[in-house]
Amino acid sequence: MTPRKQLGGVHTVVKIGGGMLSRTGVFDRVTAAMGESARGRRLVIVPGGGPFADAVRQMFTRFKIGEEAAHWMAILGMDQYAHALAARISGAALVEGETEIAAALTAGRIPVLAPFRWLKTADPLPHSWEVTSDSIAAWLTGALGARRLVLVKPASRQPASQLVDAHFVRALPAGVEHLILTDDDLGQLELALREGGPEGRAPARQG
């Protein structure tokens, strides 16, 4: 997929992993850092799934609800996390589509996308557990014509190549820069969000 012309000047998509909710204090640190670093940037925040997606996985395993239902339930879980992020990030605005993203940026707000409505209409990705919020964020990066995707994840000992789902590389448009930051790397967030040339790239792990 070829990225479209940038929507309203969107430069960066930041996906905040739901795993931030699993460790005491991490969610607070991440949301505080985003409120400080994202203000005035041409970016959109996309939520992960975290415990909301975990609940769907349990339903899938225990009650055999099938991948179709699980797919949309997990994306609705991303909407729930979006509400939490918008409530805790200073200056954030909850949005559901392109027009609202553009309006939020024009107003100087930080758009946090609840993606269900957009994805239900476009339905661009396989309905499979191979597709997580990482691939959804990658597809949205292309749909927005953004130039960079930053994945903010809990600290892990896994190599960067194992921190994303199996569909991620196929969902990410060619030429889009992608970086992985962990909660241990929050001091580099400001650098990761810079909108200049190569000198603005963060010294973070690349997938």
Helix axes 66-88, 50-63, angle to 10 degrees: 160
Q: Is residue 201 very low, low, confident or very high in pLDDT (cuts 50, 70, 90)? A: very low
How high is the pLDDT of residue 163? 85
Q: Read off the pLDDT of residues 171-195 as tens digits, 9 standing for 90 and up.
A: 999 999 999 999 999 999 999 999 9
DSSP state of 6: P
Rounded Cα distance, 109 and 103, in Å: 9
Q: Read off the pLDDT of residues 139-159 as tens digits, 9 standing for 90 and up.
A: 999 999 999 999 999 987 666
Q: Where are the domains of the chain?
A: 7-192
For the structural domain made of 7-192, what CATH number should be given?
3.40.1160.10
How high is the pLDDT of residue 54? 96
Mean pLDDT of the chain: 90
Three-class secondary structure of residue 84 per DSSP: helix
Average pLDDT, integer, range 113-139: 97
Rounded Cα distance, 70 and 68, in Å: 5
Angstrom CA distances, 153 to 22, 23, 144, stand at 11, 12, 22
How high is the pLDDT of residue 1? 43
Half-sphere exposure of 14 (CA within 13 A, CB side): 28
